[in-house]
A and B are shown apart, each in its own frame.
Chain A
Amino acid sequence: MATTLNEAAVPAGRMARNSRRHIGERVIELVLLACALVAVLTTLGIVFILVSESIGFFRAVPLLDFLTDTQWTPLFSDPHFGIMVLLAGTLTSSAIALVVAIPLGTVIALYLSEFASARVREFAKPVLELLAGIPTIVFGYFALNFLTPALRHLIPGLPGFNMLSAGLVMGIMIVPYISSISEDAMRSVPMSLREGSYAMGATRLQTALRVVVPAAFSGIAAAYILGISRAIGETMIVAVAAGMQPNFTLDPTQPAATITSYIVQVAKGDLPHGSIGYQTIFAAGLTLFLLTLVFNLAGFWLRRRYREVY
């Protein structure tokens, strides 16, 4: 029907224009697709660069040594490559950050979602968003020049560089991320669940803790996981305030290097391309990428789940 109509009524010129238009449309679609594929190419590029440079590294250093050695001295004449040393720094500083960020972020999210008036919420949310935008180098400066001297009054003999103040400031930095994602999850719990709970005589707190939190659990867990991944990948705060000396310790009052601050330290110097020292930062980067990938995928999966429930 449609074809006969075309043949009968549409002049040949318009037919030609239509087919030209059709080709143009296809070209545009392909260009747009190419732009979208840049994201895939970026991931492939990251994996390719990290793996190809790490292969050279693992040819020189057995994987077993990398995972079990307890020293990290890649630039010494007797080099050791024990990633555990850097991992200890990363885990210690991240743990401190999370001890601060998770309780604070959760309480703020619960308060804003379940208790605060609309006016408080309208004020607090954009301000928290603004704070999440402060560059991390500035937080690093704050940890080094304000918090460490302040902590010295409490802990005499605290070194000028330490993981404690870096971790605490990192925790404050992560609070807005955790509170905003968990608050989103809590707000997406349907009102009827709360109403049911109130109708049974529950108070706001009981409703919040026993109805809203379990219902929003996967979203809150996603917020925690993304917070963990951010803490592990955070670079400048630890680079500025925790010192950059590899130190195999879990004691937060000590200075230590993390995976990220080691990369910064090496990249700041001028190591020749292709040397083992140059390759170490890619092996360290690969470790970091895999660590955060696991957390990101878990967080992504959890977030999608809570979005689909209601």
Chain B
Amino acid sequence: MAVAMPAAQMRALIARQRRKDLLFVLLGVAALCLAFATFITLFLDMLIDGWSRLRPEFFTQFASRKAEQAGILAAWVGTLAVMVVTALVAVPLGVAAGIYLEEYAARNKLTAIIEININNLAGVPSIVYGLLALGMFVHTFGLGASIRTAGLTLALLILPIVIVATREAIRAIPGSIREAAYALGATRWQLVRHHVLPYSMPGILTGVIIGLSRAIGETAPIITIGAVSFIAFLPPAPVQPEFPWLSFEWLASPFTAMPIQIFGWTSRPEAAFQANASAAALVLVAMTLVMNAIAIWLRYRLRRNLSW
């Protein structure tokens, strides 16, 4: 049996524990501030180094041996082209896979294998995807270090993100919607086409944007397939003045991309190229932040408008 503590001692004990609580809160705030401060420093550092290079010409000039004349035209066009391929491949595949797993899949071995696979793929280092692409797309299929290879590689990389986002969005739809559709004689596909897909669209879109913002900054896999940082031409335009009007030659074109360009410039010792690197990094960060901000805003809006 514990003997009751004298009141003074008890008060001291309580005060001590309260102090510890307060100390931990301070520690937590400090940790959070340290993380934020690092990121603010990162931005300021890039701004100071790169601001002077952020002129309109920077966006309209090709890479150059002279740092002052170098720009990111080939890089941003290349990034844009690769992202188009990535989105066109990853979105249909990922959404279809997500629909299959949520609406169709039976609880069997095959489903379990697919699920474990997706979970594992999400944790595979991105450079391993680069090796897959180098061995498979570049050498076995002979697609070369082209826009289509990079697009396919990054599509595989973000596939797990799109699948998981699709599944989460679909899971949020209440079962009563499904029951109502079935009760009216809808087939499974009609249910998916007319109800599940439209209702889960904002959630899927959020996942797609987050996936693409991850892909846009990925450097390692596209270096591995052999993209070079010095490209002084643009891929052929997809729209042609002559008869077929549409051309898909750009898919096979060599390319460079924003992260590759940054990496190329950071590996040079001259300070002027480092300034270019930081200006390009600012542009890349702005791209990813805008995409992420849109995704977060979408999710926030979605949460508010959710009323079944």
Chain A residues with CB under 8 Å of chain B are: 21, 24-25, 28-29, 31-33, 35-40, 42-43, 45-46, 49-50, 52-53, 103-104, 107-108, 110-112, 115-116, 124, 126-131, 133-142, 144-146, 172, 175-176, 203-206, 208, 226, 229-230, 232-236, 239-240, 260, 263-264, 267-268, 270, 273, 281-282, 285, 288-289, 292-293, 295-297, 299-300
Interface pair B35/A39, CB less than 8 Å apart: no
* Also in contact, A38 and B135, with CB within 8 A (given A203-B17, A264-B127): no
Q: CA separation between A285 and B25, bound complex, in Å?
A: 43
B177 at interface, CB cutoff 8 A: no
Report yes or no: B17 in contact with A134, Cβ–Cβ below 8 A: no
Q: Is the CB of B17 within 8 A of A135?
A: no
List B residues at the A interface (Cβ < 8 Å): 17-18, 20-21, 24-25, 27-29, 31-32, 34-36, 38-39, 41-42, 45-46, 49, 92-94, 96-97, 99-101, 104-105, 113-114, 116-121, 123-132, 134-136, 139, 156, 159-160, 163, 187-189, 210, 213-214, 216-220, 223-226, 259, 262-263, 266-267, 274, 277-278, 281, 284-285, 288-289, 291-293, 296
For B285, the chain A residues whose CB sits under 8 A away are 134-135, 138
Q: How far does the alpha carbon of A29 sit from the alpha carbon of B111 in the complex, in Å?
A: 14
Q: How far is the CB of B228 from chain A (nearest CB, A)?
A: 9
Chain A residues closer than 8 Å to B218, beta-carbon distance: 135
Give the docked Cα–Cα distance between A296 and B29 (Å): 31
Q: A104-B31, A136-B217, A292-B125 are in contact. Are A264 and B224 (CB under 8 A)?
A: yes
Given contacts A46-B132, A111-B25, A229-B123, contact A137 B217 (CB under 8 A): yes
CB nearest to B269 among chain A residues: A160
- Among A24, A263, A273, A296, the residue within 8 A (CB) of B120 is A296
Between A and B, 30 residue pairs with Cβ closer than 8 Å are A21-B187, A25-B188, A39-B114, A39-B121, A46-B131, A49-B135, A49-B136, A50-B128, A104-B35, A112-B32, A130-B293, A130-B296, A133-B292, A134-B217, A134-B289, A135-B281, A137-B262, A141-B46, A142-B46, A146-B41, A205-B24, A232-B125, A233-B124, A235-B127, A239-B220, A240-B263, A264-B220, A273-B139, A289-B124, A292-B125
Let me know if B24 and A260 touch, CB within 8 A: no
Q: Which partner residue on chain B sits nearest A139 by CB separation?
A: B42
Contact of A235 among B46, B113, B126, B284 (CB under 8 A): B126
**Cα distance, A259 to B21, chains bound together (Å):** 43
